[in-house]
Amino acid sequence: MQALGKQLMIFDGGMGSELEKRLPAVPVPEDLNITHPAVIREIHGAYAAADFITTNTFGLNPIKYRGAYPIEEVAHAAISHARTAGKRVFFDLGPTGSLLAPLGTLSFDDAYAAYRQMVCLTRDEVDGYIAETFSDLYELKACVLAVREHTDKPLFATVTFDESGRTLSGATPEIVATVLSGLGVDALGVNCSRGPGEMTEVVRRLLAVSEVPVIVQPNMGLPSYRNGKTVYDLTEEEFLHAACELVALGVSVIGGCCGTTPSLVSRLADLRGTPVVRPSVTPVPAVCSGTRRLVFDGGVKVCGERLNPTGKKRLKEALMSGDLDYLATEAIRQADAGAHLLDLNVGVGTGDESALMRRAVTQVQEYCDLPLQLDSSSPAALEAGARYYNGVPLLNSVNGEERVMDAVFPIAKKYGAMVLGLTMDERGVPKTARERYEIAARIVERAGEYGIAPHRIVIDTLTLTASAEQAQVKETLEALRLVRALGVQTALGVSNISFGLPARPLLNKTFLTMALASGLTMPIINPCDTAMMDAVRAYHALSGYDADCVDYITAYGEAAAAPTQPTPQGETPDLATCILRGLKSRAEAATEEALATLASPMDAVTEILIPALTEVGRQYEEGKLFLPQLLSSAESAKLAFAVLSRRLPKGEAERGRVVLATVKGDVHDIGKNIVGVVLASYGFTVVDLGKDVPKELITEAALVNKPLAVGLSALMTTTVPAMEQTIRHLREAGVTCPIYVGGAVLTEELAARIGADGYAPDAASFARSLLGRLN
């Protein structure tokens, strides 16, 4: 293996297409290791010109394998067959065939366990592993961790890209290289997909980023189906010509995938030993999610600070109650506001922080594709986040304390993460810039001992509040200037500067500008604060990062400054009109105006809100209004009700709770969400449990909340049984409130048959029925 990365090495070629030549098609090719050992050995022998022989185990894992033999028996037989070729034997690990959540149903842990089983079965018998043909980088991460955590044997990992240059799950070659390099594979690359010529661009992009050798295993061109057989469109000469071009680009290992033959691999083997000459890769500071990569390229990268419960009561409540939708909503808001990455801190002082970090990471990455900065003082929580993160995170944080660095750097090393270092140690925050620089230098040096280069470090020179320690402001800024010489990125939690002083936004913006001029590259701020984002854009324009001020002009030029939706002259709709026409942006102001003319807030509910909603419902039923308009009206009423409920005496605003859920097995929830908004517009408190909800959870919520009613939704006939089971479970647990059902497949008759108390054909009728029960 010493030649890897220095001289070209040769992998074997297609197994499936060789089997197809010799045997009728079989559903489980891995079983041929038992039933047709001679054929398998013959094929391996035919590929003996290669340096590496791949076992016939592509589909051999406990999730995918549906063969007739014990999995360990097949694995051992496959290895012994491969051994007969007399070359290095790499065990083939293919995808599970099931898609991982959130786009599938397989959990990361289940995928990991499947690969761990295969590695533990085979690690003493093989020379290495090739994880190949993955189209989901998250699944490949589970596989790589399973190998890396159970053996030191070499691991090559390859993925497939489509014609758009992305994997099925949306990862670019740069993301693939960043994640796999970070996880410590020995070679990474591309296989299957298409022919060698079509792979050129992807290979070029991998080579430009990958810090480890690149492996390529193309198909024999594009497949077509003729006379019952799959055929490929390239000749050996055409394949070899394109392969030579890939070698010239700098690939380190080449072999073949579907349709390639022993004859072709023998000719490829003539290239063995060719010196690997590849473009030099300048390591860049980068983090990524599964679909988005962020390079610290000299511009300012805004890290959103809103996913940190410190001083944020609503977020803290959400984290403690498990309302992770709120977390996702805050993440989306920051992404829409222009953040480049998001800080994620789930420390609420109670409970299992590691478990919560894992759930939070899983939730946020489903809804938001910005890279994450995982923020915790607990190394276990950082490890949990890094493990389940589909990408390469920034870990926040280490400091100058040896025990902290000893705990966190191994995690960063294992997952390829960047690390944020705070310029403080067991003695606290030093008073001078020079002392902070010295701590930063120590952090960089210790990181280097773990193989973490300075470009993967972000140093935070610590913002102290100007009201308490005014002299420290200039020390923080001076420290920024000093630490840049270490080759690191820099961070500051900017708004700390203004605690305890009036006009905080003014101080925050001014300090941000001063810090940017001093070398700050990653301000940790609220990206929804437009003044702060304005300052960043202005800095980019003035520093030359925004070439020709293109982004600045786009943001603030004449067209952008013009109002996008001019309000008709002289029109000031009242509250009833706002609800009838769904004017959300004016609903709150119109409510305040209405209150000024009414005797009590409850009058606004009974004389304006309910009649307007009733009218909206009538027009909807008559086909004069449609769902989008109904929804806008409901959302306007919901905003109005929120204003009114703050003015109503406690208890008077409460119409009762309604628990809503889409039942287990059903992922359609837009109808249920519409019901939620409409009910809230009438003043009901909605406890929305989401979609695909187990009956036990619905029952628990009903018992805890004691609702006025439970509403269950199912869109498909296949999930109606789950609805029936849920109703039975609720009743058996002693829930006595009425249970309503709705959804495309439900009818009044079916509702009665499965034991529901009410059928809601639409949101408005559900609301009316509940109001009827109240009255």
Partner 1 sequence: MISSDLIKNALSYLGFLGLEADGDLRQEVAEALSVLIKMQRFRYLTKRFDRRLPFLEKEPYRTFLGDAPAYYLSLMTLGGEVELYLRRLALTDLRRALVADACGSALLEQLADGEEARCAEPLSRRFCPGYEGSPVEDVAEIHRILDGGKIGVALTGGGLMIPQKSMAAVLAIGGARGQRCNTCPLFAHCVFRKEQSVCKRSESN
Residues binding partner 1 (CB under 8 A): 97-99, 102-105, 135, 162, 164, 166, 168-170, 291, 325, 328-329, 332-333, 366-369, 623, 626-629, 631-632, 635, 664-670, 673-674, 677, 692, 715-719, 722
We find the least distance from the C-beta atom of residue 135 to partner 1, in angstroms, to be 7
Q: Are 287 and 371 in contact (CB under 8 A)?
A: yes
We find the least distance from the C-beta atom of residue 667 to partner 1, in angstroms, to be 6
We find the least distance from the C-beta atom of residue 314 to partner 1, in angstroms, to be 15
Q: Which amino acid is at 288?
A: C
Distances (CA, A) of 538 to 368, 526, 672: 26, 17, 44
- Comparison of 135 and 362: residue with beta carbon closer to partner 1: 135
- Comparison of 19 and 722: residue with beta carbon closer to partner 1: 722
Distance CA(613)–CA(618), nearest Å, equals: 9
We find the least distance from the C-beta atom of residue 555 to partner 1, in angstroms, to be 20
Pinpoint the alpha helices (H) of 370-432.
379-388, 402-415
Q: Which amino acid is at 307?
A: L
Distance CA(743)–CA(759), nearest Å, equals: 9
What three-state secondary structure class fits 322? coil
* Residues forming beta bridges with residue 159, ordered by sequence position: 134, 190
As given in the structure block, the two tokens for residue 109 are 């842990």
We find the least distance from the C-beta atom of residue 434 to partner 1, in angstroms, to be 47
Number of H helices and number of E strands within the chain? 31, 25
We find the least distance from the C-beta atom of residue 531 to partner 1, in angstroms, to be 23
- Comparison of 170 and 573: residue with beta carbon closer to partner 1: 170
Distance CA(599)–CA(603), nearest Å, equals: 7
- Comparison of 545 and 626: residue with beta carbon closer to partner 1: 626
Q: Cα torsion for 306, 310, 313, 316, to the nearest 10°?
A: 80
We find the least distance from the C-beta atom of residue 519 to partner 1, in angstroms, to be 35
- Comparison of 207 and 361: residue with beta carbon closer to partner 1: 361
- Comparison of 286 and 630: residue with beta carbon closer to partner 1: 630
- Comparison of 63 and 244: residue with beta carbon closer to partner 1: 63
- Comparison of 333 and 481: residue with beta carbon closer to partner 1: 333
Burial label for 648, CB within 10 Å (0-12, 13-18, 19+), is middle
- Comparison of 103 and 752: residue with beta carbon closer to partner 1: 103
- Comparison of 423 and 632: residue with beta carbon closer to partner 1: 632
We find the least distance from the C-beta atom of residue 229 to partner 1, in angstroms, to be 15
- Comparison of 433 and 722: residue with beta carbon closer to partner 1: 722
Distance CA(673)–CA(686), nearest Å, equals: 10
Residue from 382, 384, 370, 377 nearest 403 by CA: 377
Q: Are 53 and 40 in contact (CB under 8 A)?
A: no
We find the least distance from the C-beta atom of residue 258 to partner 1, in angstroms, to be 13
We find the least distance from the C-beta atom of residue 9 to partner 1, in angstroms, to be 30
Distance of CA 625 to the CA centre of its chain: 38
Q: Which parts of 1-97 are beta strand (E)?
A: 9-10, 52-54, 88-93
Distance CA(482)–CA(754), nearest Å, equals: 71
We find the least distance from the C-beta atom of residue 437 to partner 1, in angstroms, to be 42
Distances (CA, A) of 238 to 74, 192, 317, 351: 36, 17, 63, 62
We find the least distance from the C-beta atom of residue 623 to partner 1, in angstroms, to be 8
* Sign of torsion over alpha carbons 749, 751, 756, 760: negative
Tell me the HSE value of 365 on the side-chain side, using a 13 A CA sphere: 29
User: What residues have CB less than 8 Å from 572, skipping those under 6 apart?
Assistant: none
Residue 375 host element (H or E): strand 372-375
As given in the structure block, the two tokens for residue 674 are 């519409």
We find the least distance from the C-beta atom of residue 536 to partner 1, in angstroms, to be 23
We find the least distance from the C-beta atom of residue 110 to partner 1, in angstroms, to be 14
Residue with tokens 């290239």: 271
Distance CA(708)–CA(458), nearest Å, equals: 52
We find the least distance from the C-beta atom of residue 754 to partner 1, in angstroms, to be 15
Distance CA(432)–CA(434), nearest Å, equals: 5
- Comparison of 82 and 368: residue with beta carbon closer to partner 1: 368
- Comparison of 369 and 534: residue with beta carbon closer to partner 1: 369
- Comparison of 138 and 296: residue with beta carbon closer to partner 1: 138
- Comparison of 369 and 607: residue with beta carbon closer to partner 1: 369
Peptide bond into 527 cis (omega under 30): no
Per 3-state DSSP, the chain is made up of helix, strand and coil in percentages (nearest 5) of 50, 15, 35
Q: Are 78 and 55 in contact (CB under 8 A)?
A: yes
Residue with tokens 């999610």: 289
Q: Are 532 and 337 in contact (CB under 8 A)?
A: no
